């Protein structure tokens, strides 16, 4: 390991770390990036929908060579019970624009590509290197990291913690608490391979068009959680995740949930005949605004999932990671260009930038949403989906029963399942949390 001092050390080569490293290296800073995985992306898991706008802010011409799977023209939201789904589908030819808004990606390829950009911009990337601790001076300022390479210490003016949701480095250093199990989901995912033309036919797609499904309901067995199905070029990403605290209470097994999701009559035909080549499990920070820890201090900043910056309600994470990483990198570059010291006061520029951005704006507006869905999960994920299915079936089934009787039966089912006031209270709380 090199003994030279760096302007910045970035721990982690995921979305946030790569964004931070690129922002600084492309502005001429001397950057060292450490990644514990064999290569960038080897440890990383995502659905994965990638939001173009946040990558454009880092690499405007990314479409020239980034490994993109499909651009999304159709989004399906499904509320499921055991035998049905009630769907809201949005498909628009507007998404066949010159610069599409959302793409599916495969992280192992995408992170490698973004890391190559960091190297091309002048950053040094060291893989198979774990940062084991932060190094401090006597005044309590972070001055570098220790690594697992022969007890080595590497020095820098500032350390960017981009180590993902678990963030052991920051936790061990006392910069934040270990994320609570009620604020973290465990998601499992499989990659199902199918010929490109089969995927196109099953989802009504042409060329690189893509379709994604987000699904909630009895598939999570009363736990707070969602399932997803995303189309790639020659594969389908299929997964489901629920809160860790719910898994602990119910003793449900994540893989059993995924297995049942795959066998659901609405999902099974979409993946029929596929070959599963990859299986992965990963955590997702879901605590929202209230779970965000301190974002900066003397000689350090924290970005992406390590800062719990994830909008679980809207299924966004990689974009918040890229945006926060970029802003941290830009703030550090500004401080460096002014010849400033990387202390808590100067690094608060990063927090100011983040506070003014969509990241904090969105999360703070919906700060009560995660706890509402998490505490009332049996209602939101079992009772209401079953009632919605019941109402939809009552509406479409024709068997000689007068319509009015069917409508009364539907209303009675709602009132029986949950008191009128309970329903009204859930609706009001949902509406006020969803601002």
Ligand X SMILES: Cc1cc2nc3c(=O)[nH]c(=O)nc-3n(C[C@H](O)[C@H](O)[C@H](O)COP(=O)(O)OP(=O)(O)OC[C@H]3O[C@@H](n4cnc5c(N)ncnc54)[C@H](O)[C@@H]3O)c2cc1C
Residues contributing to the site for ligand X (CB under 6 A):
11-17, 34-37, 43-49, 130-131, 162-164, 169, 187, 189, 239, 241, 282, 284, 304-306, 310, 315-319, 321
Q: Is residue 78 classed as helix, strand or coil in its secondary structure?
A: strand
In terms of CB distance, is 13 or 79 closer to ligand X? 13
Tell me the C-alpha distance between 267 and 188, whole Å.
16
How many Cβ atoms sit within 10 Å of the Cβ of residue 1? 14
**Smallest distance, Å, CB 257 to ligand X?**
13
Task: Please state the φ and ψ torsions of residue 407, each to the nearest 5 degrees.
Answer: -65, -40
Return d(Cα 129, Cα 118) in angstroms, integer.
17
| φ and ψ at residue 316, rounded to 5 degrees | -115, 135
Residue 434 φ then ψ, to 5°: -90, 65
Report in angstroms how near the CB of residue 310 gets to ligand X at its nearest. Answer: 5
Report the C-alpha gap between 272 and 162 in whole angstroms: 38
- Crossing angle of the two packed helices 318-337 and 358-365, in degrees rounded to 10: 130
**DSSP helix/strand/coil, 283:** strand
CB of 137 to ligand X, least distance (A): 21
Q: Which is nearer to ligand X, 234 or 278 (CB)?
A: 278
Residue number, 157 or 305, with CB nearest to ligand X: 305
Q: Which is nearer to ligand X, 189 or 383 (CB)?
A: 189
- The CA distance from 402 to 383, in Å, is 26
Residue number with CB closer to ligand X (292 or 391)? 292
- At 55, list the tokens: 């990558």
For residue 221, the minimal CB distance to ligand X (Å) is 18
Q: Which is nearer to ligand X, 374 or 376 (CB)?
A: 374
Give the residue from 42, 257, 228 showing the smallest Cα distance to 129.
42
Smaller CB distance to ligand X: residue 229 or 260?
229
Tokens of 92: 């628009």
Q: Which is nearer to ligand X, 73 or 391 (CB)?
A: 73
Report in angstroms how near the CB of residue 14 gets to ligand X at its nearest.
2
The closest of 173, 190, 45, 196 to 108, measured between CA atoms, is 45
Q: How far is the CB of 43 from ligand X (least distance, A)?
A: 4
- Shortest separation between residue 320's beta carbon and ligand X, angstroms: 7
Token pair 């049905």: residue: 84
What is the smallest separation between the CB atom of 212 and ligand X, expressed in angstroms?
8
Spell out the residues 6+ positions from residue 8 whose beta carbon is closer than 8 angstroms to its own: 20, 21, 24, 29, 30, 31, 32, 156, 157, 158, 159, 160, 329, 332
Shortest distance, CB of residue 145 to ligand X, whole angstroms? Answer: 8
> What 8-state DSSP symbol labels residue 306?
G
Smallest gap from Cβ 331 to ligand X, in A, equals: 17
C-alpha distances out from residue 52 to 59, 61, 326, Å:
10, 11, 14
Residues 258 and 264: beta-carbon distance below 8 Å: no
Nearer to ligand X, 45 or 194 (CB): 45
The CB-of-143 to ligand X minimum distance in angstroms stands at: 17
Closest among 111, 129, 172 to 300, alpha carbons compared: 172
When the beta carbons of 55 and 388 are compared against ligand X, the nearer one is 55
Phi-psi region of 124 (alpha: psi -120 to 50; beta: other; left: phi over 0): beta
Burial of 179 (0-12, 13-18, 19+ CB in 10 A): buried
The number of beta carbons lying within 10 Å of the beta carbon of residue 61 is 8
* C-alpha dist (Å) from residue 129 to 1, 155, 326: 10, 15, 23
CB nearer ligand X, residue 374 or residue 389: 374
């Amino acid at each position: 390991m090199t003994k030279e001092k760096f302007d910045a050390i970035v721990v982690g080569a995921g979305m946030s770390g790569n964004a931070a490293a690129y922002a600084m290296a492309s502005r001429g800073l001397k950057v060292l990036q450490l990644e514990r995985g064999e290569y960038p992306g080897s440890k990383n898991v995502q659905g994965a929908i990638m939001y173009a706008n946040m990558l454009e802010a880092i690499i405007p011409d990314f479409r020239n060579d980034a490994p993109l799977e499909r651009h999304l023209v159709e989004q399906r939201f499904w509320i499921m019970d055991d035998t049905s789904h009630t769907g809201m589908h949005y498909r628009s030819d507007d998404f066949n624009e010159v610069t599409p808004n959302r793409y599916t990606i495969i992280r192992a390829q995408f992170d490698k590509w973004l890391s190559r950009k960091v190297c091309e911009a002048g950053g040094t990337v060291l893989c198979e290197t774990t940062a084991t601790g932060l190094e401090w001076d006597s005044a309590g300022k972070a001055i570098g990291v220790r690594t697992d390479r022969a007890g080595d210490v590497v020095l820098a003016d500032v350390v960017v913690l981009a180590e993902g949701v678990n963030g052991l480095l920051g936790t061990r250093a006392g910069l934040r608490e270990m994320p609570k199990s009620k604020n973290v989901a465990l998601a499992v995912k499989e990659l199902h391979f199918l010929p490109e033309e089969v995927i196109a036919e099953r989802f009504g797609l042409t060329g690189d068009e893509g379709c994604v499904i987000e699904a909630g309901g009895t598939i999570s067995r009363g736990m707070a959680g969602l399932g997803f199905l995303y189309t790639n070029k020659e594969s389908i990403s299929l997964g489901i995740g629920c809160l860790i605290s719910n898994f602990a209470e119910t003793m449900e097994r994540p893989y059993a949930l995924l297995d049942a999701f795959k066998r659901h009559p609405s999902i099974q035909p979409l993946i029929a005949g596929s070959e599963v080549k990859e299986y992965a499990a990963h955590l997702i920070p879901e605590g929202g605004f209230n779970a965000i820890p301190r974002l900066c201090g003397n000689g350090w900043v924290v970005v992406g999932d390590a800062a719990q910056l994830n909008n679980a309600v809207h299924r966004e994470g990689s974009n918040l990671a890229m945006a926060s990483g970029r802003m941290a990198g830009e703030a550090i570059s500004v401080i460096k260009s002014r010849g400033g010291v990387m202390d808590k006061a100067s690094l608060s520029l990063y927090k100011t930038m983040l506070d003014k951005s969509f990241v904090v704006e969105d999360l703070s507006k919906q700060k009560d949403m995660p706890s509402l869905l998490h505490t009332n999960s049996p209602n939101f994920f079992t009772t209401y989906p079953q009632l919605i299915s019941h109402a939809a079936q009552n509406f479409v089934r024709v068997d000689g029963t007068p319509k009015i009787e069917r409508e009364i039966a539907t209303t009675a089912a709602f009132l029986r399942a949950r008191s009128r006031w309970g329903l009204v209270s859930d609706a009001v709380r949902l509406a006020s949390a969803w601002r």
